[in-house]
Amino acid sequence: MGNIADSIKAIRSTLTEGVELVAVSKFHPAEAIMEAYGAGQRVFGESRATELRDKVRALPADIAWHFIGHLQTNKVRMIAPIVSMIHSIDSERLLTTVDTEARRIGRSIDILLQLHVAQEDTKTGFSPEELDTLAASGIFGTLGGVRVRGVMGMASNTDDKDRITADFRAIRASFDRLAAGPFAGRQTFDTVSMGMSHDYQIAIAHGATMVRIGTTIFGDREY
């Protein structure tokens, strides 16, 4: 394992001003997170509900936890009180489930709408067209428990830079369309979460405001 604090600092020095770093700590232990915390990192990303819950209990209260993995509706209740942002709202059903639960517990939860633009079928999310249709239905005006902050997406898992660039452009274009249409005038619709260890620099060049980086900070994950 490399030095986590040094990796955090090295990545920070390459980030454009205004781009937020989510340190993806899934599958890494509390000690690794505390090393990043010691370097000033306060935003961490997790992809499993139970793992998130256990880490919240064990780690400092001023950490902002972002949920970035596929979220099953039956796990919403577990994470709703403790999560500060959910990146992976990938269906209308999940959106309304989170909204209902947030209202029930008297919270407002920041969420991102997950876009599917990559080649792989394994990735979940809305197509840009589906998101436009959902927005046109007026649903976003009815949500009292969630605050829609923007979109999240992943590029195709490939070495083909043109393909990766096209994917990030499509995600950013979808955000821009929503920002100019259904979310016009909402200052808090401001987040484009895209870019991981191997492609975050391309993502930033094409309009990411938030990057999610795991391996470059913490090393390889042991699943």
Ligand X SMILES: *Cc1c(COP(=O)(O)O)cnc(C)c1O
Residues near ligand X, by CB under 6 A: 24, 26, 47, 68-69, 196-197, 212-215
* Shortest Å distance, C-beta 47 to ligand X: 5
In sequence order, which ranges of 28-116 are alpha helices (DSSP H)? 30-38, 49-58, 76-79, 92-104
* Shortest Å distance, C-beta 183 to ligand X: 22
Helix (H, G, I), strand (E, B) or coil at 187: coil
Task: Name which of 150 and 214 has its Cβ closer to ligand X.
Answer: 214
Residue 102 to residue 109: CA distance in whole angstroms: 7
- Report helix angle 30-38 to 4-14, nearest 10: 50
CA distances from 104 to 33, 77, 85, 99 (A): 31, 10, 17, 9
Task: Name which of 182 and 192 has its Cβ closer to ligand X.
Answer: 192
Task: Name which of 104 and 161 has its Cβ closer to ligand X.
Answer: 161
Residue 113 to residue 183: CA distance in whole angstroms: 13
Contact 130, 93 (CB under 8 A): no
* Shortest Å distance, C-beta 105 to ligand X: 25
* Shortest Å distance, C-beta 123 to ligand X: 9
Task: Name which of 8 and 182 has its Cβ closer to ligand X.
Answer: 8
- What is the number of the residue whose Cβ is closest to ligand X? 214
* Shortest Å distance, C-beta 219 to ligand X: 9
Residue 111 to residue 150: CA distance in whole angstroms: 7
* Shortest Å distance, C-beta 184 to ligand X: 28
Task: Name which of 69 and 150 has its Cβ closer to ligand X.
Answer: 69
Cβ neighbors of 204 (< 8 A, separation 6 or more) are 15, 16, 19, 195, 211
Task: Name which of 50 and 215 has its Cβ closer to ligand X.
Answer: 215
